[in-house]
Amino acid sequence: MTCFGLSVVATHACGWPNLTKLDNGDLFCVYFNAPSHGLMQGDLVCSKRKPNETKWKRISIVSKRPPNGNRMHLSVGQAHNGDLLCFSSGFILKDEKFVGFAGHWLSRSMDGGLTWDEEKHPTIPQKLKSCIPYGRIIRIGKTTLAYSCYRSQGRGEPSESWVCFSDDDGLTWKRFYKLGRNDSNEVALCSLPNGNLLAAVRTHVDHHLKVCEFSLAEKRSIEKGAVSLPMQHPADLIRVGTNCLLMTYGLRNRGLMGLAVRVSLDFGKTWLPPCTIHQFGDKATDVGYPSTVCLDKKGTLETAYYTDFEPKLTAKPNCYRVISKKWSLKDWMHPDHFVKISFANN
């Protein structure tokens, strides 16, 4: 189904989608396939489509639920050799309550997502085996990969997060470092030209976003400050062209349920004012988790998100869905700023 630039990826799926543009240009979306905020049994599944098409096709189960449990958290990316990787976790359930952690697993596909091999005991540091993966698995150099995970201490309490590295293209993950100080929860990673990593980090006490820069040389992170108000989270962070950083994030403030973006033209030192690119209205109660890719050298973007109410789908707006939205960065930026983006290597 397509409407107003929207394409429905999945219906009756709460989501937490992760959208990846593959090396061949195909769009690949992994998401939780149950219509619940994690309190139902469900799997992580994936759908795929060509960038010039609108219809998504579900192709496989990425991570299958354990008995009486689910797979709901995810970190997804493409290895240097082209393999698709997905770290995942979930919970064991009883009477619609979390009663146990269901493991930190790693799925790998060598055929573009058609089939998956799943490691239920991947080679990751012992401390991270009870943590929750989030965001993107990103490439660094020729064989190094990185992903992030976090540990929550309960509602309203500060969280901790780490960045973990593989030096053999995702076969083993041995090096890890704490990312951010004090309260750091879901983390979106992005590589910088200087070799460092920039992270858009959700906090867990009041749920605002902050930015941290992780130095690969010094193996430590530096906090750069807040970039959103409370209840505006979590974020995705990508490079658009060679000199632009794009942050997309959810808005969960009553009266302003939507999706927002911020742009940096100096690799995170400063950020342009936010824009609200999509609004769900007052009837939406559970929305967000945008994941964005750049489609071309003109600033055309695709953002996947989930919502329990989409007003533009008028036939049945009140339904959990994973949706993708095609939009143009040019429509939301001042012309004087947009012309500064270099799309040479996009």
Q: Is residue 229 part of a domain?
A: yes
If one counts the domains in the chain, the total is 1
Q: Is residue 343 part of a domain?
A: no
Of the candidates 136, 152, 260, 161, the one whose C-alpha atom is nearest the C-alpha of residue 204 is: 152
The first and second tokens of residue 12, run together, are 């009756």
Residue 83 reports pLDDT greater than 70: yes
Q: Provide the mean pLDDT of the chain.
A: 95
Quote the pLDDT of residue 315: 93
Q: Is residue 149 part of a domain?
A: yes
Residue 2 reports pLDDT greater than 70: no
Query: Can you tell me whether residue 101 is helix, strand or coil?
Result: strand
Quote the pLDDT of residue 155: 84
Quote the pLDDT of residue 344: 72
Across residues 81-95, what is the average pLDDT? 97
Of the candidates 271, 269, 245, 263, the one whose C-alpha atom is nearest the C-alpha of residue 331 is: 263
Q: Which amino acid is at 157?
A: E
pLDDT grade for 154, boundaries at 50, 70 and 90: confident
Residue 1 reports pLDDT greater than 70: no
CB 104 within 8 A of CB 120: no
Q: Is residue 181 part of a domain?
A: yes
CB 185 within 8 A of CB 160: no
Q: Is residue 60 part of a domain?
A: yes
Quote the pLDDT of residue 8: 97
pLDDT grade for 21, boundaries at 50, 70 and 90: very high
Quote the pLDDT of residue 257: 98
Q: Is residue 132 part of a domain?
A: yes
State the pTM of this model. Answer: 0.97
How many Cα atoms sit within 13 Å of 69 on the Cβ side?
Answer: 18
Residue 44 to residue 88: CA distance in whole angstroms = 8
Residue 215 reports pLDDT greater than 70: yes
Burial class (CB in 10 A: 0-12, 13-18, 19+), 270: exposed
CB 136 within 8 A of CB 160: no
Q: Is residue 345 part of a domain?
A: no
Q: Is residue 59 part of a domain?
A: yes
CATH of the domain at 34: 2.120.10.10
The first and second tokens of residue 2, run together, are 């397509």
| Boundaries of domain holding 184 | 2-338
